[in-house]
Structure 1
Amino acid sequence: MVQYMQPRLDTSFAALSDATRRGVLEQLARADASITELADTFRMTLTGMKKHVGVLEQAGFVITEKIGRVRTCRLGLRRLEEEAAWIERYRQLWAARFDALDEVIEELKRREEVDGQEK
């Protein structure tokens, strides 16, 4: 049975799928910044940066506050526990599969050695 990801995961991974948005998060981890500063840093238009910030804000990763004519961005309170747990489940699955593959390869090597010694 197919399990569909929760909408929150979809929103998070969509927000994190873009290199610019990941860069914005890295920038905001160092210091709050205005949309103008972010646009300058990433060499893009204000409109383009507003769209990126909007996606991050919708996912809960960024909070914006308008003071006068300046919209300042800072990291949101949203953590990545749910996303990390989802990734960890698949990491464990793949680790188990690779461990099983290693066992098969080791068994094939042992058989090959035995077959070579019998000849």
Structure 2
Amino acid sequence: MTDVDAGFWTTVADTVAAVCLLAGAFLTFAAGVGTLRFPSLLARMHAVTKPQVLGLILGLTALALRVRNWSAVAMLVLVVIFQLATAPVGAHLVSRAGFRTGKVDETELQPNEMDPSSTDDPH
């Protein structure tokens, strides 16, 4: 590979990294705004888990494209895997604690039509 080709691919990688970083920052910002603006615990929890995780992944992808060191990229992949494994568990625990402490207004929730113990079951 010539120096011109290497410079071209470096520029492409840097541009993709910048786009990933900006998109990740936007998603992280959106998660923060959603946390402040949404009215209920479950809506806030959704705002925190969905865009925050994708924003972090995009930010780490941008970092991996800039660093270009295999040991650092391997560590970033481990961070992504750990985040993907723990974010759903954390969200589940927050929602469960909200239900147990009465912080969730159950009148705003949709009924569970698949529940066999439902009182409006016509069968």
* TM-score bin, normalised by smaller chain: under 0.3
What's the TM-score once normalised by structure 2's chain length?
A: 0.27
More helix by share: 2
Calculate the TM-score normalised by the size of structure 1.
Answer: 0.28
Higher share in strand: 1
**Greater Cα radius of gyration, structure 1 or 2:** 1
Higher relative contact order (CA 8 A, sep 6+): 2
